[in-house]
Chains A and B, each alone.
Chain A
Amino acid sequence: KTQVEQSPQSLVVRQGENCVLQCNYSVTPDNHLRWFKQDTGKGLVSLTVLVHENDKTSNGRYSATLDKDAKHSTLHITATLLDDTATYICVVGDRGSALGRLHFGAGTQLIVIP
């Protein structure tokens, strides 16, 4: 059973617009949550990590929130650029110990058009 659900599956925005990506999960325990960016055919690059209840992070034009009660996270991208075209993957870590596992969502494919 999929434990990390992302929505939308794909999204097209015009350059300069803002967008919001959603991540809902059922992983327990939920030690931390990461957002990764994956360019086509490339590896995953970490954008941000959220650890605590109601965490909010900011990394340039990327900002993220985490609601552990609702098991929900959002990734906001402001003033999108063409280079933001990529797949954005939500990943939940189930514990912080050496036995921790990562649970990956299938990703949201973002396409930014001129």
Chain B
Amino acid sequence: EAAVTQSPRNKVTVTGGNVTLSCRQTNSHNYMYWYRQDTGHGLRLIHYSYGAGNLQIGDVPDGYKATRTTQEDFFLLLELASPSQTSLYFCASSGTANSDYTFGSGTRLLVI
């Protein structure tokens, strides 16, 4: 079954720590996205990618890096985590920008 799988499900790190969030999709989709979801806000786009090796900056990229190593795998990197990055992170994939999206189950990150 086609899916988007995120890992870990939960993560706790200290301020200044190094965190990598992983996402793998088996939908054969070209597009992959990283969003963060905070109370009172809609999902906000951090980074996205059209395909392996491609990276596009989203709306709230500060403090985040991303890398698309393969068609299936998209990673979000926090090299110096800060408490403001405590959030629920979602990965998604789509065939095109206008087609249906498949979302992962989310990674809850706590930076203390």
Contacts and interface: CB of A to CB of B under 8 A. Distances in A.
Given A32-B98, A98-B97, A43 B4 contact: yes
Interface string A74-109: 000000000000000101010111111111111100
Interface string B1-39: 000100000000000000000000000000000010000
Interface stretch (A14-22, A44-52, A59-67): A44-52
B98 A31 contact: yes
Contact of B42 (A31, A34, A45, A107): A107
Interface residues of A, number: 28
Nearest to A99: B97
Interface in A20-41: 31-32, 34, 41
Interface of B: 4, 35, 40-45, 50, 59, 88, 90, 92, 96-98, 100-101, 103-106, 108
Given A44-B43, A101-B59, A104-B35, 14 more contacts: A31-B98, A34-B101, A41-B108, A42-B106, A43-B104, A89-B42, A96-B98, A97-B98, A100-B98, A101-B97, A102-B43, A102-B101, A103-B42, A104-B44
